Amino acid sequence: MAPVNVDLLVLIPFPPHELARLEAVFNVTYAPEPQSRADAIASKGPQFRAVLTHGTAGLTAAEMDAMPKLEIISCFGVGYDRIDVQAAIARNIIVTHGPGTNTISVADHTLALMLASVRQIASQDAAVRSGQWHEARQNSPELTGMRLGLIGYGSIAREVARRCEAGFSMTVAYHSRRKATDTAHTYYESALALAEDSDVLVVAAPATPQTRHMINEAVLNALGPQGYLINIARGSLVETDALIAALNDGRIAGAGLDVVDGEPVVPAALLKAANLVITPHSAGRSPNAVDNMNTLALRNLNAHFTGKPVETPVPECAKVAAA
């Protein structure tokens, strides 16, 4: 990939070797923290022609206005919920993302959260470390044979389903915006109905205004005191206060979260729940996944600046291009 004389603003953390890949091609300004981000946009905004961000860091309309030469926003990973895509379209800025780049990593992590939650791995580990060997021993349920419910039925959900069926003989059902025509898995019209018939409910849907807080008190009550919630999508899909209450009241058996609404800030009341396993939005952070995401981001950026169509525009931009 030939270097181009383009100023690229990077708004997300990168391992040094991955950052070096970007620096070999672009004039990189690295600003992964809120203050460095604000400073970079204020001091060098008119220079930037490209931004590399992700769904959590996002990019606002006001920030776009401060970068009048901005041509492309490359989103690292699949989700792009905090990028103001409509503002980008109005300013003739293309937005790309990385579908499929971290599917395997996220699916693996989902199974890790499921096993850790159901088998009470974190609480037993903590008890043993505090000297309570005998007290730590629990009669934990078996994951094998449980009923899996999937909220969303994209590539990650399907990978989770494949692992659960083949490895743990789980039955699989799902709820999504529309019924799939290429599967024998049972479709449910609502998240509530799916939760009622699930032992483990995995949230794997995109963050949209329609999916915000779709996992609410009613859905958690339907999941019930023997049920487990796993969220590897976005924190906004789960109503946090309802989850805190359900965990502490024993209205669900446990939860495994890789995402929290408002992250990186995590409510203290949530962290006090003994039946919670939580990781720092790291499901998609395997070496292979990071390499895949960076490679695709570079391909999209290079395509744009060499006059070729980008490979993976977000659907909204693809729709505009096709009109």
48-53: average pLDDT: 97
Alpha helices in 82-136 (DSSP H): 85-90, 103-118, 121-129, 133-136
Among this protein's residues, is 158 annotated catalytic?
no
Q: How confident is the model at residue 2 (pLDDT cuts 50, 70, 90)?
A: low
Residue 161 and residue 70 share a domain: no
Number of domains forming the structure of the chain: 2
Residue 190 and residue 222 share a domain: yes
Residue 132 CA to residue 135 CA, distance in Å, equals 5
Please report whether residue 2 resides in a domain. Answer: no
| Mean pLDDT score of the chain | 95
**Smallest Cα–Cα separation from 5: which of 93, 69, 98?**
69
Residue 87 and residue 115 share a domain: no
Reported as a single tens digit per residue, the pLDDT across 225-277 is 999 999 999 999 999 999 999 999 999 999 999 999 999 999 999 999 999 99
Among this protein's residues, is 281 annotated catalytic?
yes
Please report whether residue 110 resides in a domain. Answer: yes
Residue 109 and residue 72 share a domain: no
How many angstroms from the chain centroid is the CA of residue 286? 13
Domain that holds residue 300: 7-101+286-322
Active-site residue (options: 37, 234, 285, 304)? 234
Please report whether residue 49 resides in a domain. Answer: yes
176-196: average pLDDT: 97
Residue 120 CA to residue 277 CA, distance in Å, equals 9
Among this protein's residues, is 159 annotated catalytic?
no
How many angstroms from the chain centroid is the CA of residue 185? 23
CATH number of the CATH domain containing 96: 3.40.50.720
Residue 257 and residue 114 share a domain: yes
Residue 178 CA to residue 186 CA, distance in Å, equals 12
Residue 201 and residue 54 share a domain: no
Strands across the sheet with 94-96, in order?
Answer: 27-30, 7-10, 50-53, 72-75, 94-96
Question: If DSSP codes are grouped into helix, strand and coil, which group holds residue 78?
Answer: coil
207, 236 contact by CB (below 8 A): yes
Please report whether residue 61 resides in a domain. Answer: yes
Please report whether residue 89 resides in a domain. Answer: yes
Residue 248 and residue 293 share a domain: no
Residue 192 and residue 265 share a domain: yes
| pTM of full prediction above 0.85 | yes
Q: Tokens in use for 132?
A: 């309570």
318-323: average pLDDT: 85
Residue 136 and residue 93 share a domain: no
244, 273 contact by CB (below 8 A): yes
Residue 175 and residue 34 share a domain: no
pLDDT tops 60 at residue 143 = yes
Question: How many helical (H) and strand (E) elements, i.e. helices and strands, does the chain have?
Answer: 14, 12
Residue 111 and residue 245 share a domain: yes
Active-site residue (options: 54, 109, 175, 281)? 281
Reported as a single tens digit per residue, the pLDDT across 275-287 is 999 999 999 999 9
The pLDDT of residue 136: 86
Residue 123 and residue 72 share a domain: no
Residue 320 CA to residue 116 CA, distance in Å, equals 44
Q: How confident is the model at residue 15 (pLDDT cuts 50, 70, 90)?
A: confident
Active-site residue (options: 263, 299, 311, 316)? 263
Please report whether residue 1 resides in a domain. Answer: no
Please report whether residue 206 resides in a domain. Answer: yes
Please report whether residue 88 resides in a domain. Answer: yes
